[in-house]
Amino acid sequence: MFVMNTTYINNKKRIALSVAAIILLGCGWWQISGLTLLLAFVPIFMLSSSFDGSVKGCAKFALWASLILVAWHLSTVWWVWNAAAIGTIAATIIGWWWAIIPLMLYHIVSKRMPKGIAYILFVTAWIGCEYIYLNAPALSFPWLTLGNGFAFDTWAVQWYEYTGTLGGSLWVLVSNILIYEALISRSKGKWALALCKVVCPIIVSLILFSQNAPTKEQYTERKSVDVAVIQPNVDCYTKFDGNTLDQQLSLLNQLKSSPLQSDFILMPETALAESVNERFIAATRIVQLIISHLKLEKSEAMVITGSESIVPYGKVRKSDTNRRTRDGIYYDIFNSSIALTANNPIDIPVHHKGKLVVGVETLPAWFREGGLFGVDLGGTAGQLGIGDKTVPFTHNNIKIAPAICYEALYGHYMGGFVREGAQIFGVVSNDGWWKDTPGYRYLFAFCRLRAIEHRRDVVRSANTGISGFINSRGDVIESLGWDKKGILSATIKANNEQTFYTRYGDYIGRLSLYIALLCLLYTVAILSKRRFYLD
């Protein structure tokens, strides 16, 4: 039987393979389709096979792999440059680091050990690195988690309710290995196995997609919740400059035009455009105006809005994120969402953002002192306080998650709201820093994945594009696009059930770390034993 020979590949072919890999990797973040990821690593495996396991061979493969990874990152996160050039550079460097580790482990081990060990180590090390990156304090930017590449192919990944996005990464990596093995051997049996691995998850997804249709009895029996979102369309870069009264009055006018019979009305992240002291929230001018309007109209709505909030601690330092006044008073500034109703002028619920944007809201501890690496995107720049709770807001016997922007990138974190009883997801955001680029479109699309993972309908209010509603199978019900000012309303469904993923979180990532470590120890032991006998 003919076997494809990938050993003798010249540089022209390596360039072609590299370009193919970049395109296949990038399509999932270019709003084309994430399905190309299922064979995106095949060209990289071919490149690896063309180099030996010597130091020189490893260095050459590292160079080609690095070119692919850097081009992939730059082609998909370039939009961060609109807010801060350092953001694109940092995201590329850190992302490259976490991706090159499993690729080099695969290349080195595949030259010295059975291919099966190399494959297992590659898959588990890659997913393990994604898991670490998801949970890395102050250095997490999991934009290119492979499972996120299916954000516009939600019909194909309905099984995320069991696995989360790391299950998508597992699907991608195993499919690539099987396709590569089938390609180099031309074995009909291996092609059948590869096809099965690609097609079976899609078939399962289509079945789940049908079972979670809005017309199904299980869905229609859920409690209906009336919701509205406000999109004020304020220029992010002038939002905090000068007098904020005009934009606050404009926001209040939009509230007055909103359907006040709604259970929840959402305003964007930092919509209040002024900081509130959490001891005296009700004394803030715009808060008083909102509460007065709700009372005047006898509205039963809960208004959920974003705001910077200040928590004073006195002369006791509480954490390393504390700031200090000239009088020696310590305090934290949080990016918060607050809940306002006609009946709660004193006890106002507040949620502190727990997943902060790297470089804007948080930095590693060793970067904080000088402030040289912070990025000012308006409002308060530098290290913000970090929330440690995922407690939903409760109103009219409905619990809603008051998530803020970046938090919606983290499936397990959003599951914390559900484990605390959240029946729907609310997300307030301010995506305008990157202008009309893929950034805000993907932040909205990632909410579709969160909807699937936890089977929760999503209500999202952005400062400008994209505000809207998503049902529990990831379908967009209605949305308001870029550079538009407006109000949307809809009736969505509350869900009390917890998915398998909600209960167990990123278990695939945890298992992968353990298996990768065992594979690595096994490899070291075998190679050490061989060297001992050779000596």
Q: 319 pLDDT band (50/70/90 cuts)?
A: confident
Q: How many residues does the chain have?
A: 535
Backbone angles phi, psi at 257, to 5 degrees: -90, -5
C-alpha 529, offset from chain centre: 43
Please enumerate in sequence order all residues whose Cβ is within 8 A of that of 145, keeping only pairs 6 or more positions apart, or say none.
130, 133, 134, 165, 166, 169
Distance from C-alpha of 483 to C-alpha of 465, rounded to nearest angstrom: 6
> CA neighbours within 13 Å on the CB side: how many for 504?
15
Backbone angles phi, psi at 115, to 5 degrees: -55, -35
**pLDDT of 152:** 96
Read off the amino acid at residue 417.
F
Return the CA Rg of the chain.
25
Whether the CB-CB separation of 156 and 38 falls below 8 Å is answered with no
pLDDT above 70 covers a percentage of the chain that reads 93
Whether the CB-CB separation of 334 and 356 falls below 8 Å is answered with no
Q: 372 pLDDT band (50/70/90 cuts)?
A: very low
SS (H, E, C) 397-456: CEEEEEEEHHHHHCHHHHHHHHHCCCCEEEEEECCHHHCCCHHHHHHHHHHHHHHHHHCC
Distance from C-alpha of 291 to C-alpha of 339, rounded to nearest angstrom: 10
pLDDT, average across residues 130-159: 93
Distance from C-alpha of 261 to C-alpha of 226, rounded to nearest angstrom: 8
Beta-carbon count within 10 A of 438 CB: 16
Average pLDDT along the chain: 91
**pLDDT of 532:** 65
pLDDT digits (tens, 9 = 90+) for 163-205: 999 999 999 999 999 999 999 998 899 999 999 999 999 999 9
Whether the CB-CB separation of 276 and 287 falls below 8 Å is answered with yes
Q: Is the pLDDT of residue 458 over 80?
A: yes
Q: Is the pLDDT of residue 524 over 80?
A: yes
3-state secondary structure of 127: helix
Please enumerate in sequence order all residues whose Cβ is within 8 A of that of 250, keeping only pairs 6 or more positions apart, or say none.
232
Which carries the bigger pLDDT value, residue 368 or residue 1? 368
pLDDT digits (tens, 9 = 90+) for 96-125: 999 999 999 999 999 999 999 999 999 999
Q: 137 pLDDT band (50/70/90 cuts)?
A: confident
User: In the beta sheet, which residues pair with residue 493?
Assistant: 224
Distance from C-alpha of 134 to C-alpha of 94, rounded to nearest angstrom: 12
pTM, to two decimals: 0.92
**Sequential DSSP letters for 168-179:** HHHHHHHHHHHH
**pLDDT of 216:** 86
Q: Is the pLDDT of residue 222 over 80?
A: yes
Q: 4 pLDDT band (50/70/90 cuts)?
A: very low
pLDDT above 90 covers a percentage of the chain that reads 74
**pLDDT of 321:** 85
Distance from C-alpha of 425 to C-alpha of 416, rounded to nearest angstrom: 11
pLDDT digits (tens, 9 = 90+) for 389-409: 999 999 999 999 999 999 999
Read off the amino acid at residue 348.
I
Residue 187 exposed, middle or buried by CB count within 10 Å (0-12, 13-18, 19+): middle
pLDDT digits (tens, 9 = 90+) for 67-100: 999 999 999 999 988 777 778 888 899 999 999 9
Backbone angles phi, psi at 206, to 5 degrees: -65, -35
